[in-house]
Amino acid sequence: MSTMTVDYTVRLRFSDDSRAAATHTNLSAVRLDGRVLWIAGDETATVERLLADSPERPAEFGAEARFRLADLVDLPGADADEEADVEGLARSGDFLWAVGSHSLRRKQIRDRHDGPKALKRLARIEGQDNRQILVRLPIADVDGVPTPVREKVVDGVTHRAAALSGRDDLRRLLRDDEHLAPFLPIPGKDNGLDIEGIAVVGERVYLGLRGPVLRGWAFVLEVRPYVTPEEPERLRLRLFEDGRPYRKHVLDLNGLGVRDLCPDGDDLLVLAGPTMSLDGPVWIYRWHGASRVGMPSVVRGELISRELELTFGEGDDHAEGMSLFGDGRVLVVYDSPAAARLTEDGAVIADVLKLPPRRP
């Protein structure tokens, strides 16, 4: 394992609207796509697109465009702009994927709360329908720039923006799961169900769970979404050999949960951090040969290696998103960035880290 050494940094420059919505200080997902950087925060129902200032070695991503998910798919919430808590982005083939946390949340005690009112507030648990999303958005070239669209024709086939419907809602599908069902009523920050990463390799979609972590084991769910000609805007899930629409993998992350996933060849890089509201530790692991796995897996020993130890702050600089960034490097973005990451001219600093060499 190596300790984090920043190779170099890049600036992320957001629009006034995104800054007003605090997206820039609540970054939760990132994915590089050529000269485009797809990015999302966990306080809105949007995906942001930033453009690189240089295709070879960008120093800054800017010229932001915002895309409301409600303009592309039907969201489950009555309020289309209610936060979707987008915690993961993936780019594969003709599509951009986004997943919400699917978590419940507990009200916080603020400085102004005291006594019975504070305890009453801490007992309140609520959910938001827009958090229960898995969406697949076609990406088309619009004025020379990759852009999410409602539909796209490829080789005579029309691909539409699609989302899991209520029939295939992941929380509903997990209601009888022997491991995860007991944690559905528990808020994400209390070790309840909390999806915080997505990786797509071919027809495989991997969903990383920040929680629950059971006796030190973290979970990754594998699903195989598809659409039918009759309902091209609805994602459905293929059944695995055991008749379930998902496959479970458990990973030895030394007691940590999954904060993001990123494909690297046949491997998956795993950004791991605390399930609870703690600052650290934070590590990047490599799940070797993840995309070749043909059954539910217990990922330990030689199947997984700890690659990098990341630094973190006290109450800030929480690594939340990770993307490959050129040969042997990853870009890491932070929720609650430290003051030193916020520049005087309004940009946010992200880190580019060099990974250890992959084993033969």
User: Would you say 163 and 233 are in contact if contact means Cβ atoms under 8 Å apart?
Assistant: yes
Cα separation, 6 vs 203, in Å, equals 34
> Can you give the pLDDT at residue 2?
63
DSSP characters over 173-187: HTTT-TTTGGGTTS-
pTM of the model: 0.95
Nearest to 329 by CA among 289, 291, 358, 290: 358
Beta bridge partners of 273: 257
Q: Taking Cα atoms as reference points, which of 127, 19, 41, 129 lies closest to residue 89?
A: 41
CB neighbours of residue 6 within 10 Å = 13
**Nearest CA-CA partner of 223 in 138, 74, 39, 99:** 99
Residue 203, phi then psi, degrees to nearest 5: -90, -5
pLDDT single digits (tens) 145-166 = 999 999 999 888 899 999 998 7
Tokens describing residue 123: 């007992």
Q: Can you give the pLDDT at residue 1?
A: 61
List pLDDT tens digits, range 49-80: 999 999 888 999 999 999 999 999 999 887 87
Q: What is the residue-level pLDDT of the chain in tens, covering all 360 positions?
A: 666 789 999 999 999 888 888 888 899 999 999 999 999 998 889 999 999 999 888 999 999 999 999 999 999 887 878 888 899 999 999 999 999 999 999 988 887 888 888 898 899 999 888 899 999 999 999 999 999 999 999 888 899 999 998 778 899 999 999 999 999 999 999 999 999 999 999 999 999 999 999 999 999 999 999 999 999 999 999 999 999 999 999 999 999 999 999 999 999 999 999 998 888 999 999 999 999 999 999 999 999 999 999 999 998 999 999 999 988 999 999 999 999 999 988 899 999 999 998 876
Does the domain spanning 2-354 belong to CATH 1.10.3470? no
Instruction: Check: CB of residue 303 under 8 Å from CB of residue 287.
Output: yes
Name which of 5, 50, 6, 4 is nearest 24 in CA terms: 50
**For residues 116, 117, 121 and 124, what is the CA-based torsion angle, rounded to 10 degrees?**
70
**The pLDDT of residue 115:** 83
The answer to whether 25 and 84 are in contact (CB under 8 A) is no
Could you check whether the bond before residue 146 is cis, i.e. omega within 30 degrees of 0?
no
Helix (H) or strand (E) holding 259: strand 257-264
**Residue 337 DSSP class:** -
Is the CB of residue 43 less than 8 Å from the CB of residue 22? yes
Which of helix, strand or coil describes residue 264? strand
pLDDT attached to residue 193: 97
What does the domain layout of the chain look like in residue ranges? 2-354
Assess contact for 185 and 171: CB atoms under 8 A. no
- 3-state secondary structure string, 79-93? CCCCCCCEEEEEEEC
Taking the C-alpha atoms of residue 132 and residue 85, their distance in angstroms, rounded to an integer, is: 9
CA distance 155 to 153: 7
Burial label for 287, CB within 10 Å (0-12, 13-18, 19+), is buried
Q: How confident is the model at residue 113, as a pLDDT?
A: 83
**3-class DSSP state for residue 120?**
helix
Q: Which two tokens stand for residue 17?
A: 């609207």
Q: Could you give the CA distance from residue 194 to residue 210 in angstroms, rounded to a whole number?
A: 5
- Contacts of 226 by beta carbon, 8 Å cutoff, 6+ apart: 203, 235, 236, 237, 238
Q: What local confidence, expressed as pLDDT, does residue 326 receive?
A: 86
